[in-house]
Amino acid sequence: DIAAYYNHFANHGISEHRTLGGFPAEKIVPGAAVAYSGGSSSSSSGGGGSSSSKPATKPADTTPAEQVTPTPVTPEPEKEPEKEPEKEPEVQKPTLEDVTVAKNGANTLMKIKNIPDGYTATEWTSSDNTVATVMAVADEEGVICGKITSASKTGTATITAKLVKDKDVITVTGTVTVVDATFVLDKTEIAVALDDATGVTLQATGAGDLSAAAVTWSTSDSTIASVNTTGKVVGLKAGVATITASATDGNGKAYTATCVVTVTDPYVALDKTALSIEVEDEVKLTATAVPVPAGGVAFSSAETDIINLTDDGKTATIKGLKAGNATVTATITVNGKQYVSKCNVTVSALTPTLEYEKTAIDMKLGDALTLTPKTQKPGSPNGTVTYSSNDPDIVSVGATSGILTAAKTGKTTIVAKLKDNKDKVLAQTIFNVKVNPSLDIVDSSDNSIPDGKKITVGAASTALKLTGGTGDVTWVSSNPAVATVDNNGNVTGVSAGNVDIIAKITFDGEEISEKVSLVVELPTLSVATQPVVPTTAGGGTLSTQPVINIVDQNNSSAVLTGFNSAVTVSLVGTDAGVCTLSGTTTVNAVNGVATFSDLVIRTSETDATKTVKLRFSCGDMTSVESGALLITAATAP
């Protein structure tokens, strides 16, 4: 009994949701009666058959103790699946197409795409009527378009159209470009092979109104060359003819372009008929053919052990593999007949070479350098390089190492020879070597090399001298605005910067030189007398006034007496903000010494002793600070 079965679950507090007879059963409430259909063709919720119901019978094994008070349960409504929101169809915005028009052409239409229903483009304007004018017209389908009525000069103009529907207005814009009308062919001269049915097809290109114009073709001599409606030219007999392409623009103006056609027997020709190369060398051969085969000219050689041959259908690359002779053949086939051109190639063994970066060498007395030959080509003959000097007293050389040593000033030659295992000279190189004096610029005070030395503006001149050379010395500064040098090599700093000092002499009729690089710095400040603050409450006039020296950066005890610059003092430090400095805070140095006389430091703070410093500065010179100064707190009022 189905009803009894479900009542059994209901009385035990079990809720079921099943399908009975193909129809969904309700959730069972404990203790409640269950109604069921008496047949598969009827149900309590629908159908044409009769239905009946009766109280559910309690199962025989169920005792009263098992009875429970039914608790009403509200069935949960079934949730309907969420529907994805429907996407609104994308609306295409109206746009006005751009056009190109030939100068003095007209009648080109500018059409609007995606016009919304009910809208009409009745108002058309041009941003520049001197370039192009426009008016509203209807096309063959009755849609309002913009017609370019004139194109007077080259340039661009913006065409604006207003789409109107009742009181709604949509504005669209497009560009009209006016260009000079042109009509050209892609070739002005061609060669066509006699009886070659493939022929050559010419391409006509027009600008402006001519870009889509119909082209007509004609030949000046139909017995020599013919041309069809697509521009295909075929040679009929040897000779020269002119092919003419014609087109007419929108105003009825005619344009023509011509191409001279030479009809000749088919041929292929290489740009060289003979050439010589060495092993590992490469050379190119270029073929000219009439007609040009679709796959290009065919290159071939039977001597693949002597040369390597590659090509792109027009140009062949030949590389020598070993000594010998080879033939390169270029071939085309027309109407089953072959036409060829040949080039004889002679490949010789590598010529032994002995090459260096340079053969003219300048050395300084005492210098050494190594001669190193360039790398030989692969396949070059092997051998040994030996060296010799024509005057070892001037320059000696290692017989196999190639190391040169400059022993004395003068000139000589060095010979390098490449020899095989039978001592046969395969190649040689001669070097011209000149040994110059070994010049050095040194500091006259200690003979040290002063390269990179720092000197101070206003300091005593730095004396330089040249060693290793004889004769008159010419001294030159690379930048006199930074440092000057006199005829005796005395260098004086002028302003901060870097400078080269150059010494020149004449040796063996030629000028030789040496240089050093110097760094010029500004002077620095030095506190010669430290200031002293009185111990009175709130400070006061300094009991010891400061004295500042302008000194050499490299020697702080050397006062630069040539400086009379202004030196300024200011208050710095932890408590500078609650203290004041008064008196003469800028004084002019005298002979490099700045003396302050009436500086006063005060504070009105009463809570604690204050700590400050005095900072002294002079133009772009590095500033300097005094020691810490303690200012006694002021007396409370």
pLDDT, mean of each 10-residue run, the chain (637 residues): 48 44 42 40 39 40 45 57 62 87 77 89 90 89 86 90 89 90 88 86 80 87 94 93 89 87 93 94 94 92 96 96 96 91 94 91 94 81 90 96 95 95 92 94 91 92 90 95 96 95 92 94 96 95 97 91 95 95 97 96 94 96 95 89
Asked whether 288 and 314 are in contact (CB, 8 A), the reply is no
Distance of alpha carbon 29 from alpha carbon 546, whole angstroms: 108
pLDDT on residue 29: 43
Asked whether 405 and 387 are in contact (CB, 8 A), the reply is no
Closest C-alpha to 324, from 301, 308, 343, 306: 306
- Indicate the DSSP class of residue 32: -
Task: Identify the H or E element spanning 3.
Answer: helix 2-11
For domain 353-435, is the CATH number 2.60.40.1080? yes
pLDDT on residue 454: 93
Cα 308 to Cα 280, 321, 328: the distances in Å are: 10, 7, 10
- Phi, psi (5° rounding) for residue 104? 70, 5
Architecture of domain 182-264: Sandwich (2.60)
Task: Identify the H or E element spanning 149.
Answer: strand 144-151
Domain 267-348, what fold?
A: Immunoglobulin-like (2.60.40)
Closest C-alpha to 32, from 75, 68, 60: 68
pLDDT on residue 34: 41
pLDDT on residue 24: 44
Distance of alpha carbon 517 from alpha carbon 485, whole angstroms: 13
> What is the end-to-end Cα distance of the chain in Å, rounded?
113
- Structure-token match 């020598």, residue found: 320
Residues of each domain in the chain carrying CATH 2.60.40.1080: 182-264, 267-348, 353-435, 440-521
Query: What's the pTM?
Result: 0.45
Distance of alpha carbon 415 from alpha carbon 371, whole angstroms: 11
pLDDT on residue 80: 62
Write out the DSSP string of 484-518.
EE-TT-EEEE-SSEEEEEEEEEEETTEEEEEEEEE
Provide the 10 A C-beta neighbour count for residue 289: 22
Structure tokens given for 388: 């010799």
Task: Identify the H or E element spanning 290.
Answer: strand 282-290
Task: Identify the H or E element spanning 126.
Answer: strand 120-126
CATH class of the domain at 440-521: mainly beta
Distance of alpha carbon 151 from alpha carbon 98, whole angstroms: 14
pLDDT on residue 40: 38
CATH code of domain 95-179? 2.60.40.10
Domain 524-631, what fold?
A: Immunoglobulin-like (2.60.40)
pLDDT on residue 122: 76
* Dihedral (Cα; 9, 14, 15, 21), 10-degree rounding: -20
pLDDT on residue 5: 47
Cα 122 to Cα 119, 134, 139, 141: the distances in Å are: 9, 12, 13, 16
- Phi, psi (5° rounding) for residue 38? -80, -5
Residues of each domain in the chain carrying CATH 2.60.40.10: 95-179, 524-631
pLDDT on residue 86: 63
Structure tokens given for 264: 């000749």
